[in-house]
Chain A
Amino acid sequence: MSKTANCGLFIDFGSTFTKAIVIDLDGERVVGRAQSPSTVETDITVGLNAVLDEINKAREVEPACRYKLACSSAAGGLRMVTIGLVPDLTAEAAKRAALGAGAKVVGVFSYKVTRKELHELETMVPDIVLLAGGTDGGDQETILHNATSLSGCNLHAPIVVAGNKVASDEIQAILASGHKEYIITDNVMPEMGVLEVDKARSIIREVFINRIIEAKGLKKAEQFIDGILMPTPTAVLTAARLLSQGTAKEEGLGELVVVDIGGATTDIHSIARGDPTQPGLVQKGLPEPFVKRTVEGDLGVRYNASSIVDAVGREHFEAQLGNSDFDLEEAVNQLSLFPDRLPESESERGLDTELARNAARLAMERHAGTIQTTFGPEGQVLIQYGKDLRGIQNVIGTGGPLIFNPFPGKILEETLYSEENPFSLKPKAPEFYVDERYLLYAIGLMSEVEPDKAMRVAKKYLRRL
């Protein structure tokens, strides 16, 4: 690292592409970018060096980098299985902790895990298992049973234990006797109605940095860069939090939602309290984390295009596209077979937009809270579950299918509150922004070292619609 080095290099090892962005830290502007197919299966450094070469070629002088930081969703991302006791309580709390840590949750188990479930769990080959269950001082039987099962199973993933603290000494002994790697941390639900996922999230991130990077063969990249700091979704979530809250010197945008539409999933991140905004509402359900991420594994506009069509109905797509010669089924198949291909015909472009619009709408409906009405002796009662996002002032769109669509506003419109479905608490009148430079992951990484600059760069490059 040289004193005159004035650039930051930020890399995303994706499952398909390795992407890099160079930011001039003094000028606070983007001065280079490149992408090349990822080579994680063979040697991660091949793809990385291809990207670095491309960046150097484009500039007369090689950029002198003060920081070289990366995030990764390569090699399947951070695959996690979560285990809790009651599905709505500690099992849900554990799942939220894992999602908030940027994981791809591949399995959720509750109550005592059966032999059949344990076998399923083994075949999922998770990178980390998050074991919860019981409030502090509450049920121990289930988590002890599950720890015993995990201890004896054919699984080499580290186990993060975030359940009833009273059981933790015994759990420690059980997992040690099975030669499992484990970390005991604070309970994700220490009391009824209290969700504490931050500690578990940061432990998961530590495990990711210390163990998973190496286990996935990504460590070699560290010959050329300072480190892989976090899973890519965490980088986006970190950027979202920074943009919302700002820094001591740079004002944030306030509460916001990030809509990240991808080929395989659509993620929604909300940085918002989501308290009821109308009088007389009663809030029920598990408390909502201020920084919340949900992932819709069935709403990707490439690999899962057919499940979007199924969810909405083919008639809707046929009516919207208005082209009777267009073979919808074939087009949807092609999308999942050739996810990198860009749309060519008018109908294909229309289909792309329509898929993205529906992915955005459904993902936001699942993320946002809802109101349910119920009747009692004193008349109608409104009960709110989840976050009320109606007052949110900013919605930021990212992800290839949204960024490269000519009408990102048309897609983001679908995330808005609608009188047709008044009980879905979606944003009413936010400003729309597009991450048109595909910068959010880099902002998240940069905020770890230069938060003020990261905030200014983000403000400069997010395009307001």
Chain B
Amino acid sequence: MKQKTVILGVLGVDAHVVGNKIMEYALRKEGFKVANLGTFVTQEDFIKAAVETDADAILVGSLCGHGELDCRGFRENCIEAGKGDIHLVVGGNLVVGKQSWEGVEQRFKEMGFNRVYPPGISPKVVIEDLKHDLGNKGP
């Protein structure tokens, strides 16, 4: 099977790089081709990289609590760029304050993210899901 390409990065004005490095390491170890854009990545940069690399998925990290604002319109922008069917994953500290996880997950799914992960999720879970999801999607 063709090696799957994923774009990884931390969205918005957000410098939290530790989880990003761990995810990159874990994804590479599992055989993914990773284009890690690092921190302070805009939606546009994620999508441009996905176009150029013909990526299978975009993995968005958002740790600063502004995820809901920063992620708005992500799917629509992918559609505009001709990558409307790309697999979108988001995780991190997506919101601030005490909110029910179900509600948060629901809101991000409505924005067009295929998978939404709460804080403290193990990379293993994310990668297993990713393999499953891309396997189903792929040719």
The listed residue (A192, A375, A377, A381) touching B40 by CB distance below 8 A is A381
> Can you list, as one digit per residue, whether each of B4-21 has a CB less than 8 Å from chain A (1) or not (0)?
010100001111000000
> Can you list, as one digit per residue, whether each of B88-122 has a CB less than 8 Å from chain A (1) or not (0)?
00000000000000000000000000000000000
Docked CA distance A90–B12 (Å): 23
- On chain B, the residues within 8 Å of A284 by CB distance are 40, 45
Specify the main secondary structure of chain A where it touches its partner: loop
Tell me, rounded to whole Å, the shortest Cβ–Cβ distance linking A464 to chain B: 41
Tell me, rounded to whole Å, the shortest Cβ–Cβ distance linking B125 to chain A: 26
- On chain B, the residues within 8 Å of A42 by CB distance are none
Query: Among B23-31, B47-55, B71-79, B127-135, which stretch is in contact with chain A?
Result: B47-55
Q: Are the C-beta atoms of B13 and A377 separated by less than 8 Å?
A: yes
Asked if B43 is at the interface of the complex by the 8 Å CB criterion, the answer is no
Docked CA distance A323–B91 (Å): 65
Q: Are the C-beta atoms of A138 and B65 separated by less than 8 Å?
A: no
Specify the main secondary structure of chain B where it touches its partner: loop
Minimal Cβ-Cβ distance residue in A for B47: A86
Docked CA distance A141–B82 (Å): 12
Counted as pairs of residues, one from A and one from B, with CB atoms less than 8 Å apart, the total is 65
Asked if A450 is at the interface of the complex by the 8 Å CB criterion, the answer is no
Say whether, besides A282-B15, A377-B13, A383-B40, A140 and B54 are in contact (CB < 8 Å): yes
Say whether, besides A138-B53, A139-B53, A381 and B13 are in contact (CB < 8 Å): yes
- On chain A, the residues within 8 Å of B52 by CB distance are 85-86, 89-90, 134-135, 138-139, 189, 192
A residues at B contact (CB < 8 Å): 85-86, 88-90, 134-135, 137-141, 189, 191-193, 282, 284, 374-378, 381, 383
Can you pick out 21 interface pairs between chain A and chain B where the beta carbons lie within 8 Å of each other? Answer: A88-B48, A89-B49, A135-B52, A137-B53, A138-B53, A138-B55, A139-B53, A141-B54, A189-B52, A191-B35, A192-B7, A192-B49, A192-B53, A193-B37, A282-B39, A282-B40, A284-B40, A284-B45, A376-B13, A378-B15, A383-B40
B residues at A contact (CB < 8 Å): 3, 5, 7, 12-15, 33, 35, 37, 39-40, 45, 48-49, 51-55, 64-66
